[in-house]
C-alpha cells in the first residue's frame, strides 16, 4: 500500500500514521512524500489524516519503488556530463577491460568523437577462469578517470565487492553491477548506500521480476539512480550468439519501471559482426542508451576479444541508433500533436 501525502507534507500527521503502523507491527518506509507499507491493503485513517493525504494506492508490485505505480514519470539521472533517461539517448562505450594507459587515453578520444558521453572499462573483471586477466585494479581506474577527464566524459566501471565500491568511488560516476552479481544482495545494499548512479545488468538467467527486485535492493537504501541493462540471457543455443538479447524485456522494463533502460549488444551477441543488429533492435524496442565494447585492436584484447568493435565500426553505429531513437521517440512525445494532425486530416477530407 502506498500513501501519497499532499505537499508540503504535514509532518505531524505523517508521524501519527507511522506510529499507528508501528503499533500494528506493520513495516513501512518513507520515500520522498510517499509512505510505502508492506503486506497491508487497508488502513483506517481519520478525517484529519485523510485531509493530509493526496491518494492511497492499494495494489503495487513487490518492487514498489522501481515501479511506475510509485513514480509514473521517467527517472532522469543527472551526472557531470549526462542526463540519462527520459527522452535522452546515452552512448556508453569503451573496452571490456582497461589494459594500459595509452589504449584507454586513445579510446576515450575516439569514442567521444563518435558520440559517446560515458566511457566504460573494467578494472575489476569477473572472469570465468581465475587464470584469465583479472583487470588492473586501482591503477586501471586511475587511467580511466584521467582519460575521461581529458575528454569531458563520465565513467562507468564494474565493482564486484563492497571493498571495490570503496576503491572505485573516487574514480567513477556510475557503478556497474555485472550480470553475475545481479542477485548478490549484500553488494546491492552496499552500492545502494554509495550515493552514485548504478547500472544493474540482468543476470544470466534472471527473470524480469527478479531483475526489478534486485534493483529494489538498491532503491530500498534510498538510491533511485538506477539504470537497467539488458545484456542477453542464457538459452539453449549459444552456437551463433553468446546470449539471447531479450528485446521484449526492454519494452517490458520501460512499461513496468521508471528507471532508464539501456541495451548492451556486445555481451548479448558475443560477436562483433552482430553487435550493430542487436543494438538497433534494442533501441527500436525503447532502449534509452547503449553500452558497447570498443577496442582499437579487438583481436589482441585481454578479454572479450570476439565482440569488441573497432572505433571505425562503432562511429556509424552511433549515427544509426540515434536516428532510430529519434524515430521511435516521436509517438511518445507528441500525442497532442498527432491528434491535431489527425483532426486536420479529417477536416481536410470533409
Ligand atoms: C562487462 O561489462 O564487461 C561484463 C562482464 O558484463 P556482464 O556482467 O554483462 O557479463
Ligand atoms: Mn566484457
Spatial distance between the Cα atoms of 265 and 177, rounded to a whole number of angstroms? 17
Spatial distance between the Cα atoms of 97 and 69, rounded to a whole number of angstroms? 38
Cβ of 325 less than 6 Å from ligand 1: no
Cβ of 135 less than 6 Å from ligand 1: no
Mutate which of 94, 99, 201, 303 to test ligand 1's pocket (most atoms within 8 Å of Cβ)?
201
Q: Within 13 Å and on the Cβ side, how many CA atoms surround 261?
A: 29
Residue with cell 527478479: 210
**Residue 313 DSSP SS3:** helix
The domain ranges of the chain are 2-59, 75-328
Mutate which of 92, 124, 175, 176 to test ligand 1's pocket (most atoms within 8 Å of Cβ)?
176
Tell me what percent of the residues of the chain surpass a pLDDT of 70.
94
Which atom, in ligand 1's list, is nearest to the CA of 202? 9
Phi, psi of 132 (to 5 degrees): -80, 165
Which ligand minimizes its atom distance to the CA of 304?
Answer: 2
Mutate which of 179, 241, 298 to test ligand 1's pocket (most atoms within 8 Å of Cβ)?
179
What is residue 200's predicted lDDT score, i.e. its pLDDT? 99
- 155: nearest Cα among 121, 183, 132, 199: 121
pLDDT tens-digit readout, 196-207: 999 999 999 999
Which atom, in ligand 1's list, is nearest to the CA of 231? 9
**From the CA of 135, how far away is ligand 2's center (Å)?**
11
What is residue 24's predicted lDDT score, i.e. its pLDDT? 87
Nearest CA to ligand 1 atom 9: 179
pLDDT tens-digit readout, 86-137: 999 999 999 999 999 999 999 999 999 999 999 999 999 999 999 999 999 9
The pTM of this model reads 0.92
Cβ of 242 less than 6 Å from ligand 1: no
**From the CA of 67, how far away is ligand 2's center (Å)?**
29
Most confident range, picked from 25-39, 41-55, 142-156: 142-156
What is residue 340's predicted lDDT score, i.e. its pLDDT? 33
Nearest CA to ligand 1 atom 8: 178
Mean pLDDT of 262-287: 98
Q: What is the mean pLDDT of the chain?
A: 93
215-219, 238-242, 330-334: which range is least confident on average? Answer: 330-334
Using pLDDT thresholds of 50, 70 and 90, give the confidence band for residue 217. very high
What is residue 82's predicted lDDT score, i.e. its pLDDT? 98
Q: Which CATH number fits domain 75-328: 3.40.718.10, 3.40.190.10, 3.20.20.70, 3.40.630.30?
A: 3.20.20.70
Spatial distance between the Cα atoms of 87 and 3, rounded to a whole number of angstroms? 29
What is residue 330's predicted lDDT score, i.e. its pLDDT? 62
**From the CA of 267, how far away is ligand 1's center (Å)?**
7
Which atom, in ligand 1's list, is nearest to the CA of 291? 2
What is residue 304's predicted lDDT score, i.e. its pLDDT? 97
Q: Which pairs count as long-range contacts for 51-54, CB under 8 Å and 24+ apart, including other chains?
A: 52/5, 52/6, 52/9, 52/10, 52/13, 52/14, 53/3, 53/4, 53/5, 53/6, 54/4, 54/5, 54/6, 54/7
Q: Is the pLDDT of residue 223 over 70?
A: yes
Spatial distance between the Cα atoms of 37 and 9, rounded to a whole number of angstroms? 17
Distances (CA, A) of 223 to 60, 70, 151, 280, 288: 19, 14, 28, 30, 20
* Grid cell locating 239: 552456437
What is residue 147's predicted lDDT score, i.e. its pLDDT? 98
Cβ of 204 less than 6 Å from ligand 1: no
Q: Is the pLDDT of residue 332 over 60?
A: no
Beta bridge partners of 177: 200
**From the CA of 42, how far away is ligand 1's center (Å)?**
43
Amino acid at each position: 500500500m502506498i500513501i501519497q501525502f499532499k505537499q508540503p507534507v504535514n509532518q505531524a500527521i505523517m508521524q501519527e500514521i507511522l506510529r499507528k503502523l508501528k503499533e500494528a507491527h506493520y513495516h513501512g518506509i518513507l520515500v520522498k512524500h510517499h509512505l510505502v507499507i508492506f503486506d497491508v491493503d487497508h488502513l483506517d485513517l481519520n478525517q484529519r489524516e485523510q485531509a493530509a493525504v493526496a491518494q492511497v494506492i492499494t495494489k503495487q508490485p513487490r518492487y514498489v519503488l522501481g515501479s511506475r505505480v510509485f513514480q509514473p514519470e521517467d527517472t532522469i539521472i543527472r551526472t557531470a556530463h549526462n542526463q540519462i533517461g527520459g527522452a535522452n539517448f546515452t552512448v556508453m562505450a569503451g573496452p571490456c577491460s582497461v589494459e594500459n594507459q595509452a589504449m584507454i587515453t586513445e579510446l576515450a578520444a575516439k569514442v567521444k568523437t563518435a558520440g559517446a558521453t560515458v566511457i566504460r572499462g573494467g578494472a575489476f573483471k569477473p572472469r570465468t577462469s581465475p587464470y584469465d586477466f583479472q583487470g588492473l585494479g586501482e591503477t586501471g581506474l586511475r587511467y580511466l578517470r584521467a582519460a575521461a577527464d581529458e575528454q569531458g566524459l563520465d565513467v562507468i566501471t564494474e565493482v564486484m565487492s563492497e571493498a571495490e565500491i570503496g576503491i572505485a568511488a573516487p574514480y567513477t560516476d556510475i557503478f556497474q553491477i555485472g550480470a553475475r552479481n545481479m542477485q548478490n544482495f549484500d553488494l546491492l545494499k552496499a552500492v545502494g548506500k554509495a550515493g552514485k548512479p548504478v547500472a544493474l545488468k540482468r543476470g544470466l538467467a534472471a527473470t524480469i521480476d527478479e531483475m526489478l527486485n534486485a534493483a529494489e535492493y538498491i532503491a530500498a537504501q534510498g538510491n533511485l539512480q538506477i539504470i537497467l541493462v539488458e545484456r542477453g540471457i542464457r538459452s539453449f543455443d549459444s552456437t551463433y550468439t553468446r546470449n539471447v538479447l531479450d528485446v521484449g524485456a526492454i519494452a517490458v522494463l520501460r512499461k513496468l519501471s521508471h528507471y532508464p533502460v539501456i541495451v548492451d549488444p556486445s555481451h548479448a551477441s558475443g560477436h562483433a559482426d552482430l553487435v550493430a543488429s542487436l543494438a538497433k533492435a534494442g533501441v527500436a524496442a525503447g532502449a534509452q542508451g547503449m553500452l558497447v565494447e570498443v577496442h582499437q585492436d579487438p583481436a589482441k584484447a585481454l578479454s572479450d576479444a570476439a565482440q569488441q568493435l573497432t572505433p571505425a565500426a562503432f562511429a556509424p553505429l552511433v549515427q544509426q541508433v540515434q536516428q532510430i531513437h529519434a524515430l521511435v521517440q516521436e509517438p511518445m512525445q507528441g500525442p497532442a500533436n498527432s491528434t491535431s494532425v489527425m483532426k486536420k486530416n479529417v477536416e481536410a477530407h470533409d
